[in-house]
Structure 1
Amino acid sequence: MKFLRLPLVLLCGVLGLAGCSMHQPVSLYQLDSGEPGQPKQSAGMAVVLGPVSIADYLQRETLLQRQADGSLTAATDGRWAGSLSADIDQLLVRQLAWRLDSQRVVLAPASTGFTPDVQVLLSITRLDSGTDQPAILDAQWRLLDRRGQVRDNRIVHLEQQHQGSETAQVQAQGQLLQKLAEQLSIALKPLANQPAVVEEQQPKKAAPVQVRKEPEKPKIPLATPIRTDLEVFRF
């Protein structure tokens, strides 16, 4: 009986260790949006943020780590708490609304009837960091005015040092996005006082020239010979 019980105890121990290894705690991270204040102006600058596109490699739950050779590896115990893309959108909206002091900063697509002063087209091509690598943000924006014309086009590269832990890295990435919002708000403010768009009226067609006609003269009926049955006699 003792011989049979020993393998059973070892088996339980192995299964227990396997269960522990399968249930290792995973840290969930979310970008830090700082402490943006509440905008006071309900009729401030109207801004539509988006579409906001992020690089394909960022569209995943795993927290990525940049290595010294430039490669990326997935963190074994770090995940994003939800959608990174949604976190970026909300962080930028709150930061811009605070810095512009406007309640009229919305994400694209805007609701029907909302006429923006500026639309921001934003592309984020890099946002990552590593234990020994700084947090780096590469982005590009285009600002469209009320007429849909490009008023500003800028490529941005930002870096932020950190202490190396995953928590410090996520904080550094959030700080980079806050700096991006600060630069973007500076570029937006000069476009707040745009002249109203006046619809161009189509040129009216010239009225046709009326030619004065001379009054028509009364027509005189032509004389027609009248036949009679009288006979003329000559003597």
Structure 2
Amino acid sequence: MTALRPLILLLAGVLGLAGCSVHQPVSLYQLDSGSPVQPAQSAGMAVLLGPVVVADYLQRETLLQRQPDGSLQAATDGRWAGSLSSDIDQLLMRQVAGHLDSQRVVLAPATAGFTPDVQVLLTITRLDSGAKQPAILDAQWRLIDRRGKVRDNRIIHLQETHAGSTASQVQAQGVLLQRLAEQLSVALKPLANQPPVAEAPRKAAPKPAAPAADAEKQPKIPMASPIRTDMEVFRF
């Protein structure tokens, strides 16, 4: 019995360590939106930001790590605190509004009655990093003016170094999105002073029908009627 005690104590210690590792707290992360300038103009440039399409592999709370061979693995020491897509939307909206100094930057879908000067169609195909891999952002935007014409179509590739920790990687990814918003704002500014859209010419109203009184004044053709005679016909 005494010989089994060391073995029992060893097993208890291993199980205790396993229990501690299972319940180890995991850090939650959000993107760093920086310090955007608070826009002052309530009648500034009207921008409809979105839809913003984010790659499918980013539609999760798992914080992914890019490996040297290009594969992705879930981080063991942290995850996103909520929706990464929502964080991206809010970061871009605040940054663009600050750069344009306009309170009229809204996320799609817009409310009824909002007429944008420009709509931004944005697709983010990559946003990740690794302990030994830099943070990389791949995106594409299209700018649609008031007339529905594409005024700019651009593919963006940005890269940011970091210290290697999970926190520094998240910070680097936030910096990439801030740089994206800055470049997007530069492309938007020339479209602020667009001429108003001309209204389509109105069709002439149809000519009203002639009233009944005028119709009676039209010449009438007399109807033919049979002619009777006083002649008699005799038969023999």
- The answer for the alignment partner of 1:46 in structure 2 is 46
Q: How high is the TM-score relative to the length of structure 1?
A: 0.83
Q: For 1:163, give the aligned amino acid.
A: A
Q: How high is the TM-score relative to the length of structure 2?
A: 0.83
- The answer for the alignment partner of 1:143 in structure 2 is 143
1:77-156 aligned within 5 A = 77-156=77-156
Distance (whole Å) between structure 1 residues aligned to residue 12 and residue 81 of structure 2? 34
Deviation at 1:195, TM superposition (A): 1.1
Unaligned runs of 5+ in 2: 209-217, 231-236
Structure 1 residues 5 and 163: alpha-carbon distance in aligned structure 2, compared to 1, 3 A threshold? closer
Distance (whole Å) between structure 2 residues aligned to residue 35 and residue 77 of structure 1? 27
Distance (whole Å) between structure 2 residues aligned to residue 174 and residue 147 of structure 1? 33
- The answer for the alignment partner of 1:212 in structure 2 is none
Deviation at 1:21, TM superposition (A): 1.4
Deviation at 1:201, TM superposition (A): 1.7
Deviation at 1:13, TM superposition (A): 3.9
Structure 1 residues 22 and 176: alpha-carbon distance in aligned structure 2, compared to 1, 3 A threshold? same
- The answer for the alignment partner of 1:231 in structure 2 is none
Structure 1 residues 226 and 89: alpha-carbon distance in aligned structure 2, compared to 1, 3 A threshold? closer
1:138-177 aligned within 5 A = 138-177=138-177
Deviation at 1:204, TM superposition (A): 2.7
- Across the aligned residues of Structure 1 and Structure 2, the Cα RMSD in angstroms comes to 2.7
Deviation at 1:27, TM superposition (A): 1.3
**In terms of Rg, which structure is larger?**
1
Distance (whole Å) between structure 2 residues aligned to residue 71 and residue 14 of structure 1? 32
Deviation at 1:28, TM superposition (A): 1.1
Deviation at 1:226, TM superposition (A): 10
Structure 1 residues 5 and 134: alpha-carbon distance in aligned structure 2, compared to 1, 3 A threshold? closer
Q: How many residues align?
A: 220
Structure 1 residues 118 and 17: alpha-carbon distance in aligned structure 2, compared to 1, 3 A threshold? same
| Partner deviation per Cα, 1:165-195 (whole Å, 9 max, x = no partner) | 1111111111100010001001111111111
- The answer for the alignment partner of 1:230 in structure 2 is none
Structure 1 residues 179 and 225: alpha-carbon distance in aligned structure 2, compared to 1, 3 A threshold? closer
- The answer for the alignment partner of 2:212 in structure 1 is none
Structure 1 residues 151 and 2: alpha-carbon distance in aligned structure 2, compared to 1, 3 A threshold? same
Percent identity between matched residues is 74
- The answer for the alignment partner of 2:27 in structure 1 is 27
Deviation at 1:132, TM superposition (A): 1.2
Q: For 2:130, give the aligned amino acid.
A: G
Deviation at 1:19, TM superposition (A): 2.1
Q: For 2:198, give the aligned amino acid.
A: V
Q: For 1:55, give the aligned amino acid.
A: A
Q: For 1:166, give the aligned amino acid.
A: T
| Partner deviation per Cα, 1:51-91 (whole Å, 9 max, x = no partner) | 10111111111111111111111111110111100000000
Unaligned runs of 5+ in 1: 209-214, 228-235
Distance (whole Å) between structure 1 residues aligned to residue 159 and residue 4 of structure 2? 63
